[in-house]
Amino acid sequence: MRQSESQPNFVLITGASSGIGMACALYLDQLGYRVFAACRASDGQALQAAASSMLTPICIDVTEEQSIAKARDIVAHEVGAAGLFSLINNAGLAYGAPLEFQPLDDLRRQLEVNLIGVVAVTQRFLPLLRQNRGRIVNISSISGRSAMPFMGAYCAPNSPWRPSATRCA
């Protein structure tokens, strides 16, 4: 569905540095949405070069409350009373190893990004979503349904999003 150019809808996508997040950001940009593409610090320039002026890369570390708050302030200033049309939680990472040998720091980092980060970003941006009766899209892995060998730590934080997303209104 092509977006109206007179009144653009604003979308925030986390994990837009590469993969699905980048593809979503560029696609929505082509459709005319005003996209805030949340990237790691050094990744925004490449994304901006491939997009229109309607796409704005912003730096967010989903594990850092101050980073999320700063990004929320930037987005709030830009969207004003229109609010956010959609928040697409896509940021994630995967460390593969048997749990017996998985460094606990890697496990904690993975849970912080893939589970807690989704909640932290959603909580911070929820007021902007409410302004526009916006929608939340949580992108997770099929690994939440069935664990793969050596990927238990990756699969665990993907599991909660399937049932919770279908129950949220």
Average confidence (pLDDT) per 10 residues, the chain, 169 residues: 67 94 96 94 81 94 96 97 96 84 89 92 97 92 59 59 46
pLDDT number for residue 163: 47
Distance CA(152)–CA(40), nearest Å, equals 25
Distance CA(68)–CA(24), nearest Å, equals 20
Identity at 84, one-letter amino acid code: L
User: pTM for the full model?
Assistant: 0.85
pLDDT number for residue 145: 56
Strand ranges, E, within 40-160: 55-59, 86-89, 135-138
Superfamily of domain 10-167 in the CATH hierarchy: NAD(P)-binding Rossmann-like Domain (3.40.50.720)
**Which of 27, 33, 95, 154 is labelled catalytic?**
154
User: Is 154 annotated as catalytic?
Assistant: yes
Instruction: Kindly list the distances between the CA atom of residue 31 and the CA atoms of 54, 87, 93, 150, 152, in Å, as whole numbers in the listed order.
Output: 10, 16, 28, 39, 37
pLDDT number for residue 46: 83
pLDDT number for residue 152: 61
pLDDT number for residue 43: 74
pLDDT number for residue 167: 43
Strand ranges, E, within 26-145: 34-39, 55-59, 86-89, 135-138
